[in-house]
Amino acid sequence: MKMKKNFFLSAAAVILAIMAGCSAPEVKQTPPTIGYSADFIADEGAHFELPSEFWYLTGKLDSKEGPYYFASHFHKAGSQFIHTRNGYNSIRTPDGKYDYRSFGQGLVRTLAENYLREKIEKFPGDSRYPEILKNLGKDKSIHFYTMNEEERALYRGRLFIDFGKNHFERTGETKLEYELKLDTWVGPLDLKLEALTDPVVFPAANPIRIGEGNMQGYFFPRVKAAGVSGTIWYNHIFGMPHHSASGREEIITQRLNNGGAFVIACYYNSYGELKNTNVAYIRPDGTLDYKANIKIKQEKTWRSDISRNTYPVSWSIEGGEFSGKITPTFENSEMMLEEGVGAFWLGPCSFRGRIGRNPWKGVVAGEGFCRVVGTEDKPKP
């Protein structure tokens, strides 16, 4: 309780004066141009005709006590008039304590309740799940907040999301300026943001392939908070994934100290077989490369005791100009609809390796976040 009180007292100072992201040295960036595009402004809004869409922002906030890491995730599933809206946020404090909050409409809470009933049936010896279900049904969950109809505004044509006390909006007409408000477990967070460069884009002509389906999107690797140094990530992905490659997924985003950035998005079938590897590398000069023939190998996993999900959290990557390792900053970065169900992993990770064909040159370091959908334990027969 003392820790929470101290955070409230120092929140303004943290938000206004000492936020930071990538610790890499400053490099010259090409100023953004896409902010003036009416088509891009419209594309930032919701695509109600598509079945899957999410916006997420992640960052590192430095303070005198040490870094705070935050993540936020806004989600729409389903198309046209039949779709659900929900979201998540998380914060890790300098003393290492970590927790998340989730929020959604009543339909999402019903989904979580059904997942918990399945959990109880699969693992009848675990006494935690009945109590979690009981509290969720009475709206007494400390993790899930049920939004009413007025609390789930989501616009088409421009970015505006208002999910309970969690808000994300584009505020700049010609600049890539945004406002992010989060209602976290340690208190409110209010950030004024601006993208420093154009994004890493997966357009219709070169989408993220997921089985026989695909998604489009963009990844802003360098976004600053107003009045302070530092950067965070902002990502928006939308489209129609295919069930043949929806068994597991890994999205790795890294900004590099050479001024470049890369995104790797891998999708697996229900048997754990890799079906698609999507790569985009934005070079320091701003040019994009989608053709890197990268092979990704899982190095380490982390298993959650409450969700019973296992997540890859460390990888080696090889191929073309790339060689190196991705490692997590913390192993537990799990977020869920409610304790035990609807879980995925979204946390900070880093890259150490080489980009370039000369083994004696091209050594780079990267910092970013990884989003992983894991696989659940199967009950013993």
Q: What is the pLDDT of residue 297?
A: 96
- The pLDDT tens digits of the residues spanning 129-151 come to 999 999 999 999 999 999 999 99
- The pLDDT tens digits of the residues spanning 185-197 come to 999 999 999 999 8
8 A C-beta contact, residue 221 and residue 337:
no
Q: What is the pLDDT of residue 79?
A: 84
CA distance 252 to 276: 14
Please name the residue that has the structure tokens 């090889």.
318
Angle between helix 128-137 and 106-122 (nearest 10): 160
Highest mean pLDDT (candidates 158-167, 220-229, 317-326): 158-167
CA distance 57 to 153: 18
Q: What is the pLDDT of residue 44?
A: 96
DSSP labels, 163-211: ETTEEEEE--SSS-EEEEEEEETTEEEEEEEEESSPPEEE-TTS-EEET
Lowest mean pLDDT among 219-223, 293-297, 311-315, 354-358: 354-358
8 A C-beta contact, residue 181 and residue 213:
no
SS3 (DSSP) at 291: coil
| pLDDT of 11 strictly over 90 | no
pLDDT category of residue 62 using cuts at 50, 70 and 90: confident
8 A C-beta contact, residue 218 and residue 234:
no
Tokens of 265: 């998005």
Q: What is the CA radius of gyration of the chain?
A: 20
Tell me the whole-structure pTM to 2 decimals: 0.90
Could you give all domains of the chain from N- to C-terminal order, each with its CATH number? 2-376 (2.40.370.10)
